[in-house]
Structure formats: C-alpha cells, structure tokens
C-alpha cells in the first residue's frame, strides 16, 4: 500500500489502529469465545445438491476462537458488497435484516445494542480487509478506484458509527 496507494495509507492505518483497540476491548469483556469461520460470506458457502442440499463451508484459513459477531459482520458486509450489482440497497437491507432476525430467533439470543455494535465492528473490518486486498493485488490487477470507493463507504457508513 505504501508504494501503490500512499494517499490511502494513513487513513487505513488510523482505521486499523482503532479497530484493533475496539476489538481487543470487546474480546476482554466477552464471557466466552465461539469457534468462528473468520471469512464467512456467500462465496464460501456451498450447497451439495446431490446430498439433500446440505450446506458446507470452504476457505477455512481464518478459523479462530472469537466473537460470534465476527462471522455475522463479515457475512453482512460481503452480502451487501456482492449483491449491489443485482439488488437495490433497500432490498439488500431487507435481506440483511431478515437474516439477522432469523439467526437470533433460531439461536435464541437477544439482539442488543452491544451486539449490533460488535457486528458493525466486523462489517468495518471486512470492508477494510477488502480495500487492502484490492490495493495489494498483482500490479496488473490492482484496482485503486474500487478500493478508494469502498474505503470511502467504510468511512462514511461503518467507521463513523463505531
């Protein structure tokens, strides 16, 4: 990033430092940690149509003991990003809302302000991770405009609410 997008470096560093601090404080307050995928999003879910449509997960390189909100935030941010070419923002928001309602109903967990903030944290993490990915690809594939647009979205839609 230092060589390829120096104009983004300071902003990314500031965000990373804040995210690390918030996550560290949140993890200290949790009573327990959960086994999480760490890169949970629609592309990492597979459906075995030959075996009763069973669901499976791929890309298990980020598995960890962490906050269950990590997978939720990751999924919601990636769903929003991946679906924007196919759906209106209102429809994406409705899908996200339905997903969370069903998740918390099935898991019998009360959806609190604290949980909402933790999900927001991981939505921000995931978006920033994508920005870094876009800026560190092979020189011929680097996508600065895409990275800068997403960085701006993160700053305005997620980061300001942490």
For 32-74, the pLDDT digits (tens) are 999 999 888 888 899 989 989 998 989 998 999 999 999 999 9
Q: For residue 125, what pLDDT is reported?
A: 94
Q: Which of 26, 34, 33 is nearest to 112 (CA)?
A: 26
Q: For residue 107, what pLDDT is reported?
A: 95
Cβ-contact 130, 150 below 8 angstroms: yes
Low-confidence ranges of the chain (pLDDT < 70): none
Q: For residue 160, what pLDDT is reported?
A: 76
Q: For residue 3, what pLDDT is reported?
A: 85
Cβ-contact 24, 130 below 8 angstroms: no
Considering Cα of 119, then 120, then 121, then 124, what sign does the dihedral take? Answer: positive
Q: For residue 43, what pLDDT is reported?
A: 87
CA distances from 109 to 23, 52, 101, 148, 161 (A): 21, 28, 10, 36, 23
Q: For residue 76, what pLDDT is reported?
A: 95
């Amino acid at each position: 990033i230092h060589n390829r997008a120096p104009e983004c470096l300071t902003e990314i560093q500031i965000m990373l430092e804040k995210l690390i601090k918030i996550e560290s404080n949140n993890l200290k307050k949790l009573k327990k940690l959960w086994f999480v995928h760490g890169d949970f999003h629609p592309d990492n879910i597979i459906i075995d149509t030959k075996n009763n449509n069973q669901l499976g997960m791929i890309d298990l390189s980020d598995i960890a003991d962490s906050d269950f909100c990590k997978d939720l935030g990751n999924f919601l941010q990636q769903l929003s990003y991946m679906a924007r070419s196919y759906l209106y923002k209102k429809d994406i928001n409705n899908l996200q809302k339905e997903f969370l309602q069903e998740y918390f109903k099935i898991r019998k967990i009360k959806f609190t302000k604290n949980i909402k903030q933790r999900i927001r944290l991981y939505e921000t993490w995931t978006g920033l991770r994508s920005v870094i990915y876009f800026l560190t690809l092979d020189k011929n594939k680097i996508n600065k405009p895409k990275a800068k647009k997403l960085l701006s979205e993160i700053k305005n839609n997620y980061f300001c609410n942490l």
